[in-house]
Structure 1
Amino acid sequence: MGKGFRENQPGSQFEPRYNTTLAGVVNTFEWLLIAVVLAFVFRAFVVEAFRIPTGSMAETLRGDHYHLRCPRCGYEYDLGTDEVSELPHARCPSCAYWASPEVMPAVTNGDRIFVSKAAYQFKEPDRWDVVVFKYPIRPEENYIKRLIAKPGETVELIDGDVYIDGLIRRKPPKVQDELWMPLYINDYQPGGRADRLAAALEDKGPYTNQVWQQPFENVDGSIWNTSVENSAVFSLVSPQSRINTLHYVDRTGHDFEARYAYNSNPIAIRPEVSDLRVVFNVTSASDDGMIGAGLKKNNVLYRGWVDFAGQMIIDRFTGEQREVLVQRDIPGVSVWNGSEFSFEIVDHMVVLRIGENVLKYDAGRQRGDMGVHRRDYKPGVEIYGASNIDISHIEIWRDMYYGSNVLRPRPNEPFTLDEDEYFMAGDNSPISHDSRMWRGPGIGNEGRTYREGIVPRGYLVGKAFFLYWGDAYKPFEGALPIVPNLGKMKPIYGGVDENE
């Protein structure tokens, strides 16, 4: 018989020493208390949910915004509420139509994300991470930006790109995919009544609209078919020996300026962006011929070619001088017919893709390796073809652009970080209030202050890693948006580039 236990006699029953109902209530309360404590610990030290309040990280992460559909071409896009007045002006990023709707749709709440508060307890932050931190000037406020420079580094912003210690820093592929912005999507074309209505509503002020015109034009006697009746697909029937060129016309509304459709800011002066990407699908009824594209940066034309016989080539023209930069053999057209073709210049890398085949040219990481930007050097886009070809789903995208009209770093005035100092910048560069623009020292404990423009190590809250709620659906008209939009759920990418 164990000590402290009373042996029951045969036929006897246990006699309860307390009220069983009360015991159940106490037991439930204990479990609830434990759950609350664990939730508090989890929230305080592991993962916390945040709601994005502003559009400084758009389009990666959006604050409160309107979801719009262009009345002229049908393209869907978001307009932030950060700068919106009583009558916001929205510009379609594809057809360039300025709309000033009298009645806006209901505001959609900002994205909701998960933040790992333990991430930086075990490792140092990586460049390009999306970081939640305490705003140094008002530490009671949390900010969210992208980390672009780390302790001991010297940061410069040149032609929209990030340079660290004199070398351009390339964004990881998944981060870069988030930061491409549309300049023109050929599948969304105005026409008919919608375009006539847009012209009738034309403003004579800064929001002037013109009757839409196809921005791709044949040059030098080329014979691509871009007619209105078949304008979503460009067709070519030509001799295999003749190269036909489509030139993207930089006219009003289809320029290369660093516009952000998310922002309601129609009259600001913007730089032109020369880190570009052209994409389309290609099909051919011939086994011979070629398809290609050209991008102009700093007065140099870079071209990517795919020969149907099975070869990829990247070359460049400086004036009239041609130089083959890199080439490789690939399977012939029968293998990749119907695939996506893309050609891009980004962060001093030139990349050509057809289907699963990739060819890259590293132009170097020094400041002048791709030439020096001048105002009179205009970007450009061209498409080339020979033989019987159809191209569809034609798109032009631009890289995001870190503006340099800021307090730091100024042109030719790099900014150097000390120990335990970080430099943050928002993806929506024109309206992001970040390390580039902060005025006044940071506030620390016991009268301590921090340099202007830096985030101290101790003010890092955590790494944003997942968007779990955005653009929820309403189950019926008049209801609250409570149905999750699975299509908007996504990881939030960061990390370092492949060469660091």
Structure 2
Amino acid sequence: MSDPLAARKTHWRDNLEAIAAAIVLALLLKAFALEAYKIPTGSMQPTLMGLNTPEFSISDRIVVDKFTYAVRDPERFEVAVFRFPLDRSKNYVKRIVGMPNEQLRVQNGDLWVRPGDGDPWTVLRRPGDVQETHWKSLDDPWVAEAGPLTNDGSTLVASNSGVFRFGRRDESITDRYFDGYLEAVRERVPTRDADGPRNTNLRQRHKVGDLKVAGDMVAEANTFEIEVELREGPRTYRFRVPGPAAPADARPSIEVETESGRGLPGDAQLVAPAPERAREPWRLTAGTPTRFAVENLDDRLRLVLGDALDLTLDVPAVASQNSAIRVRFSGPGRLAAPRVWRDVYYTARGTYEWTIPDASYVMLGDNTQDSSDSREWTLERFALVDTVEGRSGVLRGNKRQGENPIELETRDELFFVDEWGQRHWLAEDVGRAAADPVREGFVEVTGLGEEPAPFVSRDMITGRAIAVFWPIRPLAGIVRLEWIH
């Protein structure tokens, strides 16, 4: 005869074992495979959102893959989670841009790499999925410059030959802070201009020459040509698309024009590359929308027409990034749903250049105008000496203006957080040399100065950010559910 009490004990035991197994599995997944993180700051905006103000709050939750980096090394342009070398109690999330044993440069808004001294610098181009993340949409208006033109907000219409210009007349396109943000949060993100941001790059606007224009071209029977023009410093890039009225042997093309005496030294002597033309004759079909895209990106020009054509033309680098966009109609035509994007402009105080050691990486935030990353990380050091006990040591930690260290003038003390996240209160005078054996048990505190600390070692990198899964607020126009590229 079965024992009901024994059966009951077995039932409870089975449940407890299942719960225990689930907890162990969850802990193993967290330790070795997957973990969820909350984005607390805006250094990766708008790729990853982290904003908390009295007026508005949005913080992405992301899934981090901790297994991949256990079996292989990190790769360039991956979004990585790592322990901050100058305060290891904190986890940071940035994009990997500099790899071990190479030289990296930030100049004129672009990234440049070379193997070592004496090798030529080459512009660092991003993979397609990363570049799509970095294109930032612009919402300036299209303005009629010449000809019988109308713009209903979604379509540029030319009843005959004419020219549209994007944006304000005679002003270059710049890296405005809100470009690329979700419309639902764009106007709620404070620029902190009034209070003075930590990173003064936020106040500046840099002229941006890397641009993309896309939409649908619609020609009429008597359209000779539709041309998209991108301006960059002393150059004009013309993306020419023949219409039905063009000669039967007409071909789409990319052409470069230069102007003497404009731009920085060297630009005026630039020899324009030969035009790039389609191999076969091709013209727009009257009344049929043709999807197009033109771009100037990292010294490469590109013209795409539907599935029929993809032309590229490499051009030399140019220092001046003064830019403009125009669309020229030779005859009637339309441009439906035209959109414009600019590339990320990597801000720099002058030129940043690093020689990256073995097993080390350079990290940058996608929010380049307001990101604490390899460009500004600075190591602060203090020597501590106890002449009585014969002890000495060095405190190392992150130097950040207004945050660490903090001088407490009313108490004649210095507050400092070291590289392990430990807090210290150091008695000091003007020369940062004090005689107070109570504080830290040392007699003398001497500042050793500061030095750049841009690198993250391989052992500090703990995971790869792979997806955003929260927040989801459809009524507020915020749905953060996407893969991270």
- The TM-score with structure 2 as length reference comes to 0.71
Higher strand content, 1 or 2: 2
**Structure 2: stretches of 5+ with no match in the other structure:** 115-120, 179-188, 195-202, 245-249, 261-270, 380-395, 398-417, 421-450
2:149 to 209, 225, 232: 225
2:334 to 365, 374, 390: 390
| Aligned residue type for 1:136 | P
Does 1:400 pair with 2:344? yes
CA contact (8 A) 2:230 2:296 kept: yes
> How many Å separate the matches in 2 of 1:288 and 1:383?
14
> How many Å separate the matches in 2 of 1:387 and 1:294?
16
1:125–1:301: structure 2 CA closer, same or farther, 3 Å change rule? same
- The 5 A counterparts of 1:102-117 are 104=55, 107-117=56-66
Q: Deviations over 1:466-487 (max 9, x none)?
A: 111134347xxxxxx9xx97x5
1:470–1:325: structure 2 CA closer, same or farther, 3 Å change rule? farther
Partner of 2:298: 347
- The 5 A counterparts of 1:69-468 are 81=53, 104=55, 107-165=56-114, 166-186=121-141, 216-218=143-145, 222-226=146-150, 230=152, 232-238=154-160, 244-248=162-166, 250-251=168-169, 255-261=172-178, 262-266=189-193, 268-286=203-221, 288-309=223-244, 311-319=251-259, 324-328=274-278, 329=280, 331-334=282-285, 337-363=288-314, 369-373=316-320, 378-405=322-349, 411=351, 414-440=353-379, 452-468=453-469
What is the Cα deviation at residue 422 of structure 1? Answer: 0.6
1:437–1:392: structure 2 CA closer, same or farther, 3 Å change rule? same
> How many Å separate the matches in 2 of 1:336 and 1:147?
46
Partner of 2:470: 469
CA contact (8 A) 2:79 2:465 kept: yes
Say which is worse superposed, 132-141 or 175-184, in terms of deviation: 175-184
What is the Cα deviation at residue 185 of structure 1? Answer: 4.9
The secondary structure found in structure 1 opposite 2:361 is: strand
Q: Deviations over 1:404-456 (max 9, x none)?
A: 12xxxx52x621110111100000011100111111167889xxxx9711111
> How many Å separate the matches in 1 of 2:299 and 2:463?
31
Q: How many residues align?
A: 380
**Structure 1: stretches of 5+ with no match in the other structure:** 1-12, 66-80, 87-103, 187-214, 475-480, 494-500
> How many Å separate the matches in 2 of 1:421 and 1:287?
60
1:454–1:323: structure 2 CA closer, same or farther, 3 Å change rule? closer
> How many Å separate the matches in 1 of 2:82 and 2:473?
27
CA contact (8 A) 1:45 1:118 kept: yes
What is the Cα deviation at residue 341 of structure 1? Answer: 2.3
Please, what is the CA RMSD of the aligned residues?
Answer: 3.0
> How many Å separate the matches in 2 of 1:108 and 1:290?
49
> How many Å separate the matches in 2 of 1:288 and 1:248?
22
The secondary structure found in structure 1 opposite 2:132 is: helix
CA contact (8 A) 1:153 1:416 kept: yes
CA contact (8 A) 1:236 1:386 kept: no
CA contact (8 A) 1:185 1:395 kept: no
> How many Å separate the matches in 1 of 2:140 and 2:9?
68
What is the Cα deviation at residue 233 of structure 1? Answer: 2.6
| Aligned residue type for 1:216 | V
Q: Deviations over 1:44-73 (max 9, x none)?
A: 1101111111111111110136xxxxxxxx
Partner of 2:406: none
1:58–1:324: structure 2 CA closer, same or farther, 3 Å change rule? same
Q: Deviations over 1:75-95 (max 9, x none)?
A: xxxxxx4xxxx7xxxxxxxxx
Say which is worse superposed, 31-40 or 337-346, in terms of deviation: 337-346
